[in-house]
């Protein structure tokens, strides 16, 4: 660190010597690991580049379509670029998805019928999916359970791993299971995320019992963190958010689905209406940012991983429980820190907020966010509202007071945000 940087931080952010000590130590402890992620980044960048070239992307893909958006060249080609990157038959990349939840909801709802059952094999799904499935306390009109589509959950074991025997038993005993839900990233649960190799293993166990069941993967936060993706190991359909890794911090919003043609088409019918599917949908001049975001995504995703690893190390040194640990192999950009104390959780988020380029002056207060069952505290000083590929931290204000931190468009900013967060946490101890 330049002497100038240190002076700047002390002058502008009131960082203590103890906080600096932890910062320096964490940097020197983590640096060696970054090479491995740089290599993954390089490979994924090549994969993305080649997909653009194969599809002959040019300026004409960035045009502004309006109205029905029939034959939107940019949109239809981006579907193919995604399909190529994920090694699938089809893609559906749309700014019309209001979020990842919407894309996931369409991927699931489009592929089940009344009487079918959904089996979640990575435990309870991410909070916002509970409303879709009909598992939340508050009942939402039109949730899948109201259509007679029930969901069963197979919990993870006490080490946070898949229970292969229980999953196989459920599949043997219940022929109504039509769709398997697997969530790669941790969500608001205190478990590790699943490596693509672990997802491949659970898929093998599922296929031993049932060839025909549809395997869905929620890939949120996982894109471009490993050199492979779950669709390369037998996932039939997968979805995620453009406000996370794959939007590259540039896409203004949206979601994506990739997978087998038949399942992606069925999801498109749920996104719009049967008969219209993915053929309508003007893109209003947004395509350049979706392409440019995708092109930047392998780089940005690894900047976010570096931020997460650094954050883990900083918090380990400061004495907090973190998962994954600073040396665990990563498959997503999420870092969880257990604060065990509401004030520390809120202070940490306030620090991240204070270090943001946008809304740094805003105060972090817990609020009842739609789609979530408990109050959430959230730091989000982002260019794209609510974007979590940008440095952000959030957590439900409930025991054991875990903050989930993710994103960072560049590691330089990521480091500073965490430094300020740490400084505010250490203040609580004074
Ligand atoms: C973020 C997330 C979602 C939902 O995505 P949104 O864009 O926030 O709707 C779903 N599943 C997981 C695992 C997530 O991390």
Last residue of a domain, one of 230, 250, 285: 285
Note the helical H segments in 153-286: 164-173, 196-209, 261-271
Q: Measured in angstroms, how far is the CA atom of residue 28 from the centroid of ligand 1? A: 33
Atom of ligand 1 nearest to the CA of 241: 7
Give the mutation target among 122, 225, 241 for probing the ligand 1 site: most ligand atoms within 8 A of CB: 241
In the sheet with 117-120, reading across from the earlier edge strand, the strands are: 90-94, 255-259, 237-241, 214-218, 177-183, 117-120, 150-153
Tell me the average pLDDT across 233-256. Answer: 98
Report the side by side order of strands in the sheet with 335-338: 321-323, 335-338, 402-406, 392-396, 376-380
Same domain, 117 and 90: yes
Whether 329 shows a pLDDT value over 90: the answer reads yes
Residues with CB under 6 A from ligand 1: 99-101, 104, 126, 128, 183, 185, 187, 218, 220-221, 241, 243
Domain boundary among the residues 224, 259, 285 is at 285
Does residue 290 form part of some domain?
no
Same domain? For 167 and 217 the reply is yes
Q: Do 131 and 28 belong together in one domain?
A: no
Task: Determine the average pLDDT of the residues in 330-341.
Answer: 95
- Asked if the structure places residue 175 within a domain, the reply is yes
Question: Is 140 a member of any domain?
Answer: yes
Q: For 184-195, how does the pLDDT look when each residue is reduced to its tens digit (9 = 90+)?
A: 998 777 778 999
Provide mean pLDDT across the span 256-282. 98
* Residue 222 is assigned to a structural domain of this protein: yes
pLDDT band at 13 (very low <50, low <70, confident <90, very high): very high
CA distance 307 to 30: 10
Q: Please give the number of the atom of ligand 1 that sits closest to the Cα of 184.
A: 13
Whether residue 350 lies inside any domain: the answer is: yes
Supply the residue whose CA is at minimum distance from atom 6 of ligand 1: 100
d(CA 247, CA 182): 22
pLDDT in tens, 109-142: 999 999 999 999 999 999 899 999 999 888 899 9
Residue 422 is predicted with a pLDDT of 96
Residues 6+ apart with CB under 8 A from 192: 160, 186, 323, 324, 328
Q: Report the pLDDT averaged over residues 359-388.
A: 89
* Tokens representing residue 248 in the block: 């590259």
Domain count, the chain: 2
Mutate to test the pocket of ligand 1, among 93, 193, 244 (most ligand atoms within 8 A of CB): 244
Whole-angstrom distance, CA of residue 183 vs CA of residue 129: 11
Residues 164, 266, single domain; the answer is yes
Q: Which range marks the domain in which residue 236 is found?
A: 64-285
| Secondary structure percentages of the chain, helix, strand, coil, to 5 | 45, 15, 40
Domain membership of residue 58 (yes or no) is: no
Counting ligand 1 atoms within 8 A of each CB, the residue from 220, 254, 255 with the most, and so the one to mutate, is 220
Residue of 317 and 63 predicted with greater confidence:
317
CA of 101 to the centre of ligand 1 (A): 6
Stretch 273-279: mean pLDDT, rounded? 97
The answer to whether 291 and 250 have CB atoms below 8 angstroms apart is no
Q: Are residues 87 and 32 in the same domain?
A: no
Q: What is the pLDDT of residue 187?
A: 75
What does the pLDDT look like over 156-169, one tens digit per residue? Answer: 999 999 999 999 99
pLDDT of residue 429: 64
Tell whether 217 and 147 lie within a shared domain: yes
Taking only the tens place, the pLDDT of each residue in 391-414 is: 999 988 999 999 999 999 999 999
Mutate which of 125, 135, 218 to test ligand 1's pocket (most atoms within 8 Å of Cβ)?
A: 218
Tell me which of 223, 255, 285 is where a domain ends. Answer: 285
CA 351–ligand 1 middle distance (angstroms)? 23
Residues 300, 384 share a domain: yes
Cα angle 372-374-379, degrees, rounded to a multiple of 5: 75
Q: What pLDDT, on the 0 to 100 scale, is given for residue 380? A: 87
CATH of the domain at 340: 3.90.1150.60
314 and 190, same domain (yes or no): no
Share of the chain above pLDDT 70, in %: 99
- Residue 430 is predicted with a pLDDT of 59
Q: What confidence tens digit (pLDDT) does each residue in 94-111 have? A: 999 999 999 999 999 999
Within-domain flag for 52: no
For residue 153, give the CATH number of its domain.
3.40.640.10
Contact predicate 326/317, CB 8 Å: no
By the 8 A CB rule, do 334 and 221 touch? yes
**pLDDT score at 237:** 98
Q: Are residues 89 and 195 in the same domain?
A: yes
pLDDT reported for residue 192:
83
Q: Say what the pLDDT of residue 326 is.
A: 97
Do 118 and 265 lie in a common domain?
yes
274 and 299, same domain (yes or no)? no
Residue nearest to atom 8 of ligand 1 (CA): 100
Contacts of 34 (CB under 8 A, 6+ apart): 306, 309
- Check pLDDT > 90 for residue 424: yes
Which atom of ligand 1 approaches the CA of 183 most closely? 13
Pair 74, 141 in one domain: yes
The answer to whether position 56 is within a domain reads no
User: In the structure, what pLDDT confidence band is assigned to residue 371 with cuts at 50, 70 and 90?
Assistant: low
Q: How far is the CA of 32 from the centre of ligand 1 (A)?
A: 31
């Amino acid at each position: 660190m330049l002497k100038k940087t240190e002076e700047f931080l002390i002058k502008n952010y009131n960082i203590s010597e103890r906080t600096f000590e932890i910062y320096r130590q964490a940097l020197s402890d983590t640096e060696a690991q970054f090479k491995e992620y740089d290599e993954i980044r390089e490979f994924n960048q090549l994969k993305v580049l080649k997909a653009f070239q194969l599809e002959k992307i040019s300026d004409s893909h960035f045009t502004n379509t309006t109205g029905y958006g029939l034959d939107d060249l940019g949109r239809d080609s981006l579907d193919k670029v995604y399909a190529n990157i994920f090694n699938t038959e089809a893609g559906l990349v749309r700014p019309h998805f209001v979020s990842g939840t919407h894309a996931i909801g369409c991927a699931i709802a489009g592929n089940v019928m009344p009487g079918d059952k959904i089996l979640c094999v990575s435990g309870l799904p991410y909070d916002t999916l509970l409303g879709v499935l009909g598992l939340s306390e508050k009942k939402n009109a039109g949730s899948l359970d109201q259509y007679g589509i029930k969901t069963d959950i197979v919990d993870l074991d006490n080490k946070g791993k898949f229970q292969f025997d229980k999953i196989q038993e459920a599949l043997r005993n219940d022929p109504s299971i039509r769709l398997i839900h697997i969530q790669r990233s941790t969500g608001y649960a205190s478990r590790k995320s699943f490596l693509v190799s672990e997802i491949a293993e659970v898929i093998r166990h599922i296929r031993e019992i049932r060839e025909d069941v549809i395997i869905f993967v929620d890939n949120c936060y996982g894109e471009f963190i490993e050199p492979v993706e779950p669709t390369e190991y037998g996932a039939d359909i997968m979805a995620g958010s453009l406000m996370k890794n794959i939007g590259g911090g540039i896409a203004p919003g949206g979601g994506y689905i990739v997978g087998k043609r038949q399942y992606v088409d069925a999801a498109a019918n749920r996104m719009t209406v049967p008969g219209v599917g993915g053929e309508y949908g003007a893109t209003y001049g947004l395509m350049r940012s979706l392409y440019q975001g995708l092109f930047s995504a392998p780089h940005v995703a690894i900047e976010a991983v570096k931020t997460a690893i650094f954050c883990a190390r900083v918090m380990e040194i400061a004495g907090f429980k973190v998962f994954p640990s600073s040396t665990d192999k990563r498959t997503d950009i999420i870092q969880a820190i257990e604060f065990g104390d509401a004030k520390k959780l809120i202070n940490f988020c306030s620090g991240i907020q204070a270090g943001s380029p946008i809304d740094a002056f805003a105060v972090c207060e817990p609020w009842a966010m739609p789609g979530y069952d408990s109050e959430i505290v959230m730091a989000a000083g982002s260019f794209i509202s609510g974007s979590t590929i940008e440095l952000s931290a959030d957590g439900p204000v409930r025991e054991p007071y875990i903050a989930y931190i993710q994103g960072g468009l560049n590691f330089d900013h990521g480091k500073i945000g965490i430094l300020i967060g740490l400084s505010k946490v250490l203040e609580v101890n004074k």
